[in-house]
């Protein structure tokens, strides 16, 4: 495969074939983003089911087994179906335009890595209709729950995870090849915008971590069907080893979902503060350090398994260490805004809200990272509150912010600012009503993954559920805002809808042409648009 094969372009095909045969990075980005949105709605619907059951104590709507299927599938769909594809979709749209490339390096691979996704999702969701129901062992699928005691549909789940892993690995290889080879020849690595940097580092996390996930589900598969005993104690295996291998993937995975979000925020805050990003190079180094540390802290998810004290201490200190580069990032974002001329358009509101709420999630993460304290918090709603603060008000917030920030450039039309602000405040208030009380529930001892609870938890659960329904509804408005912008938005009156925005993507005409940079941008242009002052 080489780039010369794609020399001649004829513009997009018409109709459905345009999407099936898509090799253009923008078409594939669009596919990824709509797919992610569809999965967000599916995963969100499952979450509504969970919160409806938890509205009152007692069992009202479903039996515990079905409730377990809901929590499991909600987690899997949101992680692998919504957040990750949305980030890859943004990468497809933005990276070639940010590094001055005509397209992604490997367009056909790109097509393939998208088109396995809908089938993987279909296989995963179809398990609901199989005998024995969908996987019900939690999204972490701990053995032996997922091996000896799992429903037959687990083999379909394993196959779906393999496909999703393939998709992510191919996507990551494509991004690495694009950034390292298709970059404008005049662009040095340290001229690259932060979204590109964070995605490059994320890609290395992906090719390192996703194969380990593939390995662990393959072991599950052979344990279940071919008589091996990796996780079966009766055959000399060890279920605790499952947790080690799973979290060796699982911890880098959480940074796979958050690092691109860091990149997005590093673009939006400078634009609406009208100042260059503070501490560009320290941002790059901080991202790389977080990525490195993410590989050596996995067992902080396993304090309750009875590890030796020395191991608990090591994993605790290593975990605390991650707060340092993350703190550098938060400091840099705040310093970027310091004495800036701030305005509060919708993308800026989302970015600011990210800064506050992600930091809350980060702090609760530090609390959980303290081994002796975690024995108390382990598997309670405090954990649920923590990872929803970093994933919903972290990753998802950044995805929404990025959509509103770059959509006017992509389609050359402006979204409805008033509606976007209403949507922001609606989501911002409801998400806190939804997740903040879960901290209290967890500290009071309510375990996660249960369909029924003791009476003293009733009030906070009721509040949380009401917040959940309001938050769920807010996505209808978001879908309307996006569709309304694409169809009826007023044309933007400049190539830079945000006058203060910097970056090579803004030098292209609006809407962005089908092929981005036919000739690479010059050194002067790159420096003019770079993030460092």
Nearest residue to 101 (alpha-carbon basis) of 525, 522, 518: 518
Q: In sequence order, what are the beta bridge partners of 18?
A: none
Measured over the CA atoms of residue 154, residue 160, residue 163 and residue 165, the dihedral's sign is negative
Question: Is 462 a known active-site residue?
Answer: no
521 binds another protein (CB under 8 A): no
Q: Which is nearer to another protein, 307 or 335 (CB)?
A: 307
307 binds another protein (CB under 8 A): yes
Whether residue 413 lies in the annotated active site? no
Least distance to another protein, CB of residue 205, Å: 11
Query: Contacting another protein (CB under 8 A), which of 339, 518, 524, 533?
Result: 518
Residue from 22, 104, 120, 245 binding another protein (CB under 8 A): 245
**Residue 430 is a catalytic residue:** no
- Asked if 162 touches another protein (CB under 8 A), the answer is no
Residue with tokens 């809407």: 511
Q: Which is nearer to another protein, 15 or 227 (CB)?
A: 227
Binding status of residue 372 toward another protein by CB under 8 A: no
318 lies in the site for another protein, by CB under 8 A: no
**230 touches another protein (CB under 8 A):** yes
Options 28, 116, 117, 214; binder of another protein; rule CB under 8 A = 214
Of 38, 50, 173, 429, which one interacts with another protein (CB under 8 A)? Answer: 173
| Whole-number Å distance between alpha carbons of 507 and 138 | 46
Judge contact between 23 and 111, C-beta under 8 A. Answer: yes
**3-state SS class at 490:** strand
Return the structure tokens found at 445. 């001892």
In angstroms, rounded to a whole number, what is the distance separating the alpha carbons of residues 529 and 533? 10
| Using rule CB under 8 A, residue 520 touches another protein | yes
Q: Which is nearer to another protein, 252 or 325 (CB)?
A: 252
Rounded to whole angstroms, the Cα distance separating 22 from 13 reads 9
Separation of alpha carbons 390 and 392, rounded Å: 6
Known active-site residue 253: yes
Among 234, 281, 494, 533, binds another protein (CB under 8 A): 234
Among 76, 77, 78, 182, binds another protein (CB under 8 A): 182
Q: Catalytic site residue 139?
A: yes
439 as an active site residue: the answer is no
- DSSP run (H or E) holding 491: strand 490-491
Catalytic residue among 25, 51, 224, 301: 301
Nearest CA-CA partner of 475 in 438, 430, 507: 430
Give yes or no: 300 in active site: yes
Interaction of residue 367 with another protein, rule CB under 8 A: no
How many whole angstroms separate alpha carbon 122 and alpha carbon 4?
Answer: 35
Q: Residue 493, class by beta-carbon neighbours within 10 Å (0-12 exposed, 13-18 middle, 19+ buried)?
A: exposed
For the CB of residue 3, give the shortest distance to another protein in the complex, in Å: 5
According to CB under 8 A, which one of 11, 15, 185, 372 is a site residue for another protein?
A: 185
Total residues contacting another protein by CB under 8 A comes to 48
Measured from the CB of residue 519, what is the shortest distance to another protein in angstroms? 6
Is 167 catalytic? The answer is yes
- The tokens for 190 are 């340290």
Instruction: Find the largest Cα–Cα distance for the chain.
Output: 70
Catalytic residue among 26, 51, 74, 409: 74
The DSSP letter of residue 447 is: B
Residue 202 catalytic?
no
The C-alpha atoms of residue 266 and residue 296 are separated, in whole angstroms, by 26
Q: Is 4 in the site for another protein (CB under 8 A)?
A: yes
Report 71-110 residues binding another protein (CB under 8 A).
Answer: 101-102, 105
Question: How many whole angstroms separate alpha carbon 146 and alpha carbon 154?
Answer: 7
- Interaction between residue 210 and another protein (CB under 8 A): yes
Give the Cα separation of 51 and 434 in Å (integer): 10
> Does 247 engage in binding with another protein (CB under 8 A)?
no
Residue 236 sits in the site that holds another protein (CB under 8 A): yes
329 catalytic residue (yes or no): yes
Q: At 368, is the secondary structure helix, strand, or coil?
A: helix
Q: Does 130 bind another protein (CB under 8 A)?
A: no
Site map (CB under 8 A) of another protein, residues 190-209, x = contact: -----------------xxx
Q: Does 309 bind another protein (CB under 8 A)?
A: yes
Q: Which helix (H) or strand (E) covers residue 524, if one does?
A: helix 523-529
We find the least distance from the C-beta atom of residue 189 to another protein, in angstroms, to be: 13
Can you give the C-alpha Rg of the chain in angstroms? 23
Among 45, 61, 180, 324, binds another protein (CB under 8 A): 180
Separation between Cα atoms, residue 211 and residue 279, nearest integer Å: 34
Instruction: Indicate which residue of 71, 153, 154, 168 is catalytic.
Output: 168
**What phi and psi values does residue 491 have, to the nearest 5 degrees?**
-60, 140
> Cβ of residue 214: shortest distance to another protein, in angstroms?
6
The CB-of-169 to another protein minimum distance in angstroms stands at 5
The whole-angstrom separation of Cα 62 and Cα 74 is 16
Run of H or E including 413: strand 413-414
- By CB under 8 A, residue 241 contacts another protein: yes
- Among 127, 273, 287, 326, the active-site one is 326
Q: Which of 216, 223, 177 is nearest to 200 (CA)?
A: 177
521 Cβ contact partners less than 8 Å away, ≥ 6 residues apart:
100, 184, 186, 187, 504, 507, 529
Rule CB under 8 A: is residue 7 a binding residue for another protein? yes
Residues noted as catalytic: 74, 103, 139, 167-168, 251, 253, 255, 266, 300-301, 326, 329, 448
- The contact set with another protein (CB under 8 A) reads 1-4, 6-7, 101-102, 105, 169, 173, 176-177, 180-182, 185, 207-212, 214-216, 218-219, 230, 233-236, 238, 240-241, 244-245, 248-249, 306-309, 311, 518-520
């Amino acid at each position: 495969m080489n780039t010369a094969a794609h020399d001649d372009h004829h513009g997009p095909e018409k109709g459905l074939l345009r999407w099936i045969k898509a090799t253009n990075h923008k078409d594939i980005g669009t596919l990824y983003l709509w797919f992610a949105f569809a999965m967000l709605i599916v995963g969100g619907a499952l979450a509504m089911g969970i919160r409806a059951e938890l509205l009152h104590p007692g069992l009202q709507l479903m039996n515990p087994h079905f409730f377990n299927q809901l929590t499991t599938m909600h987690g899997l769909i949101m992680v692998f179906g919504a957040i990750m594809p949305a980030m890859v979709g943004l990468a497809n749209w933005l990276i070639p335009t940010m590094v001055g490339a005509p397209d992604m390096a490997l367009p056909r691979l790109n097509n393939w890595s998208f088109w396995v996704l809908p089938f993987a999702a279909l296989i995963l969701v179809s398990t609901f209709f199989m005998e024995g129901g969908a996987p019900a062992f939690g999204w972490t699928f701990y053995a032996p729950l997922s091996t000896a005691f799992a429903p037959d549909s687990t083999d379909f789940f394993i196959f779906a995870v393999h496909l999703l892993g393939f998709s992510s690995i191919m996507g990551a290889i494509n991004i690495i090849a694009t950034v390292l080879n298709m970059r404008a020849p005049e662009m040095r690595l340290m001229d690259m915008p932060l979204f590109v940097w964070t995605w490059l580092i994320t890609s290395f996390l992906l090719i390192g971590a996703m194969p380990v996930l593939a390995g662990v589900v393959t072991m599950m598969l052979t344990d279940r069907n071919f008589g091996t005993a990796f996780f079966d104690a009766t055959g000399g295996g060890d279920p605790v080893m499952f947790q080690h291998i799973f979290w060796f993937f699982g911890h880098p995975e959480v940074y796979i979902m958050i690092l691109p979000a860091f990149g997005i925020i590093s673009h939006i805050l400078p634009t609406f503060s009208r100042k260059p990003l503070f501490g560009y190079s320290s941002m790059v180094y901080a991202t790389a350090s977080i990525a490195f540390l993410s590989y050596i802290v996995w067992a902080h998810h396993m304090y309750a398994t009875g590890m030796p004290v020395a191991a608990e201490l090591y994993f605790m200190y290593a975990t605390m260490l991650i707060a340092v580069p993350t703190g550098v990032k938060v400091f840099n974002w705040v310093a970027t805004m310091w004495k800036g001329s701030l305005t509060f358009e919708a993308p800026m509101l989302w970015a600011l809200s990210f800064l506050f709420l992600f930091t809350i999630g980060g702090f609760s993460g530090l609390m959980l990272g303290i081994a002796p304290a975690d024995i108390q918090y382990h598997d309670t709603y405090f954990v649920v509150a923590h990872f929803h603060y970093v994933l919903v008000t972290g990753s998802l917030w950044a995805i929404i912010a990025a959509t509103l920030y770059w959509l006017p450039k992509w389609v050359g039309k402006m979204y409805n600012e008033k509606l976007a602000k209403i949507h922001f405040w609606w989501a911002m208030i409801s998400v806190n009503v939804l997740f903040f009380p879960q901290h209290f529930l967890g500290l009071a001892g309510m375990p996660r993954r249960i369909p029924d609870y003791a009476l003293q938890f009733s009030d906070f659960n009721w509040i949380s559920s009401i917040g959940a329904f309001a938050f769920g509804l807010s996505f209808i408005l978001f879908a309307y805002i996006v569709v309304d912008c694409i169809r009826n938005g007023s044309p933007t009156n400049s190539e830079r809808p945000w006058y203060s925005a910097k970056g090579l993507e803004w030098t292209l005409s609006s809407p962005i042409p089908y092929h981005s940079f036919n000739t690479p941008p010059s050194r002067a242009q790159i420096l003019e648009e770079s993030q460092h002052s």
